[in-house]
Structure 1
Amino acid sequence: MADVTTRRDSPEAVAAEKPGRAPSPAPAPPDRARELRSLLARADVKLSPYLYIAPFFVLFALVGLFPLAYTAYVSVHDWHLIGGQGEMVGLQNYADVVQQPKFLTALRNTFSIFLLSAVPQLLAALVIAAVLDANLRAKTFWRMGVLLPYVVAPVAVSLIFSKLFADQSGMVNTLLGFVGVDPVRWHADALASHVAIATMVNFRWTGYNTLILLAAMQAIPRDLYEAAIIDGANRVRTFFSVTVPMLRPTMIFVIITMTIGGLQIFDEPRLYDQQGDGGADRQWLTMTMYLYELGWGAQKSFGRASAVAWILFLLIVAIGLVNFAITRRIASDGSSSGGKRR
């Protein structure tokens, strides 16, 4: 009886006997698995984006940043292809390279070929993209046809065009003879050889840039074209007043990529003739060909070749920044003037 009375007088029994009031549950032990899952979920949300983009940065560090930094290290040493690393010479390799006449010749040829290829290439890509953006039959066929020269091997393109622009028996000189033009010395004259090499570059890369500009044209809202037509603008006025201003961001990208690729041109001038040395008077010797000649030619000086590589890298960065600043200024001026007109 005493035990029964004790159990009835306990706080739990008294609380249970009160109507409408349930006994308070005992505190549950902490769920370690649930806390761990919550912690992993928060970590997944914060770290997943970085893990997704990490492979790119790892590969870029291995094949981009490390070779660039190592080239800078080699450029300040007397490094020979056979003898290996020598003593540190500082900026002497840069001074020796800049003072050589071949360096100035290669620099002049590189910029000449770049200008002869970049300007016509951009204009042709704009016109072809505008034509492909129109209502043509078999659009997919024509777009694939424009891209076809890009997938052809550079070696094949160079060999074909070197025969077309042959001095004596080339097809180009034969066609020029039909209209009464004297044969052009495509391999002897500097300007003629630059035009021939620039033609090869334009043949390969115009289609690639055309598709980039075409994709940007298709992203332009069609309401702008309808408003221009209602205002009475024809196709030419619509192209220059609507299409070109809307393509400015894409043209910045195209111009910068053309600058990077054009100043590093190697395949086309290297394979333009059988010798591969830039001509008898080095009339189409480019910076990359000069770099190759220093590193693997008679001098076999990796230090001077690395110095040329870094000079070319700094030139590309400087010209790219200038292009970006100019095109961005033009784009901002166009947008501000458009805002004033509105």
Structure 2
Amino acid sequence: MASGAQRRIKSISYAKYGYIFILPFFLVYFFFQLWPLINTFIVSFHGNGKNVEDWVGLQNYKDILFGGSRKVRVIHESFFTCLKNTVILWVGNFIPQLALSLSLAVWFTEAQLKIPGKGFFKVVMYLPNIITAASVAVLFLQLCGQSETNPGAVNLILYKLGIVKRGIIGKGLYSTVPLVEGVWQSRIVVMFIQTWMWFGNTMIMLMSGIQGINPSLFEAASIDGASSGQVFRKITLPLLTPIMAYTLITSMIGGLQMFDIPFLYTKTGNVKDHLKTMAVMIFQYFHAQANENKIGYAGAVSVMLFFITLALGLIAFYMTRDKDEIAKKKQRKKIAQQAKRESKQFGGISL
């Protein structure tokens, strides 16, 4: 029997302090983001042009998905072009980003490797992540510019090396310098910028996941004579599934909302058709001229982008789920149900 002193001791729950710490985020979200999100859904059911207050129901979605008149067909084609560009730019920067980040994370966390200045390299690789996208876009615009008067240092070097031939002839001082305006050349530059900006952040997350793996597993594998490749394939990669799923989903959300780098890639502000993403399309429709107001279409595209992101996120969750844990959970549930049935057979008395 517990003593009087033990009975007076009350259990202390620290869960409330966690809720207090996350409360500011939810307050800011409800006040500044929840209403714009709801309002976007409302706007998507209204008209365009001068009569933006008119309720049109699902007409905006029908126009975007299936087209119609010549004017609407342009919006329909633009939507699928932007969707294709968005997917291409995201996949093209996520795959090399993940491969580079995973390689560096394994390299930096390898206990047998004594890398001097490991902390310095981590900081340097993470620095591009804290630089604003606008600054990065301006930097690469100067290097890979597509202006007739200032084609950029990279174009000049490629021309001098003979890799790029004279394409579009400029005027004035740079009249003999080519401009790199190819579709895939521009896309590759944007992919490289995105990879360079975000691989440091992905590397840090993967490193934290690797360091969270029980070291005894690596020690046991080393004693059994497993090679580094076998350790990576059989231990590191399977146990990194949760953090890989998180990286995939967060990268997908950011990639589908890609705006700043493609929009700022050209000095004139006229985004090329092969670089125009869905976020750029939404921005341009929201800021269309008063006599060609496309707010309803912008809202509809925003809502469809939301559902596309949601669907892809659910698919990513399903593909990266822990199958062993699900099987164990089903087995435990089956055992519990069987025990319950056996208990009922004996009048509710468990033996």
Pairwise TM-score range, normalised by the shorter structure: 0.7 to 0.9
CA distance in 2, matches of 1:186, 1:333: 54
Structure 1 letter corresponding to 2:303: W
* Pair 1:105-2:81 in alignment: yes
- Name the residue aligned to 1:142: 121
* Pair 1:95-2:74 in alignment: no
CA separation of 1:164/1:334 partners in 2, compared to 1, >3 Å: closer, same or farther?
A: farther
Q: Which stretch of the first structure deviates more once superposed, 52-61 or 297-306?
A: 52-61
* TM-score between the two structures when normalised by the length of structure 1: 0.76
C-alpha contact (below 8 Å) 1:76/1:93 kept by paired residues: yes
CA distance in 1, matches of 2:143, 2:268: 17
Q: Give the gaps of 5 or more residues in structure 2.
A: 1-7, 68-74, 168-177, 329-351
1:237-276 matches, within 5 Å, as 237-276=230-269
CA root-mean-square deviation: 3.1
CA distance in 2, matches of 1:84, 1:139: 61
Q: Which has the larger radius of gyration?
A: 1
C-alpha contact (below 8 Å) 1:294/1:302 kept by paired residues: yes
Structure 2 letter corresponding to 1:131: W
1:16-35 matches, within 5 Å, as none
- Name the residue aligned to 2:281: 290
CA distance in 2, matches of 1:284, 1:46: 47
- Residues 260-315 of structure 1: CA distance to partner in whole angstroms, max 9, x if unpaired? 00000000000111122321xx1111101111111103333221111111111111
* TM-score between the two structures when normalised by the length of structure 2: 0.74
C-alpha contact (below 8 Å) 2:263/2:271 kept by paired residues: yes
1:254 aligned counterpart, secondary structure:
helix
CA separation of 1:175/1:241 partners in 2, compared to 1, >3 Å: closer, same or farther?
A: farther
Q: CA deviation at 1:170?
A: 4.1
- Residue from 181, 200, 216 that aligns with 2:193: 200
- Name the residue aligned to 2:228: 235
CA distance in 2, matches of 1:70, 1:244: 42
CA separation of 1:273/1:50 partners in 2, compared to 1, >3 Å: closer, same or farther?
A: closer
CA separation of 1:52/1:213 partners in 2, compared to 1, >3 Å: closer, same or farther?
A: closer
* Pair 1:181-2:172 in alignment: no
* Pair 1:191-2:167 in alignment: no
- Name the residue aligned to 1:24: none
CA distance in 1, matches of 2:55, 2:119: 58
C-alpha contact (below 8 Å) 1:117/1:198 kept by paired residues: yes
1:137 aligned counterpart, secondary structure:
coil
- Residues 32-83 of structure 1: CA distance to partner in whole angstroms, max 9, x if unpaired? xxxxxx9xx99x9997765554433332222332221111011111266xx6
1:258 aligned counterpart, secondary structure:
helix
- Residue from 97, 101, 115 that aligns with 2:91: 115
1:322-337 matches, within 5 Å, as 322-328=315-321, 331-332=322-323
C-alpha contact (below 8 Å) 2:155/2:179 kept by paired residues: no
Q: CA deviation at 1:222?
A: 1.3
CA distance in 1, matches of 2:284, 2:303: 16
CA distance in 1, matches of 2:120, 2:249: 29
Aligned residues: 292
Identical amino acids, percent of aligned pairs:
31
CA separation of 1:52/1:133 partners in 2, compared to 1, >3 Å: closer, same or farther?
A: closer
CA separation of 1:157/1:289 partners in 2, compared to 1, >3 Å: closer, same or farther?
A: same
C-alpha contact (below 8 Å) 1:245/1:334 kept by paired residues: no
- Residue from 293, 298, 306 that aligns with 1:305: 298
- Name the residue aligned to 2:140: 161
C-alpha contact (below 8 Å) 1:186/1:196 kept by paired residues: no
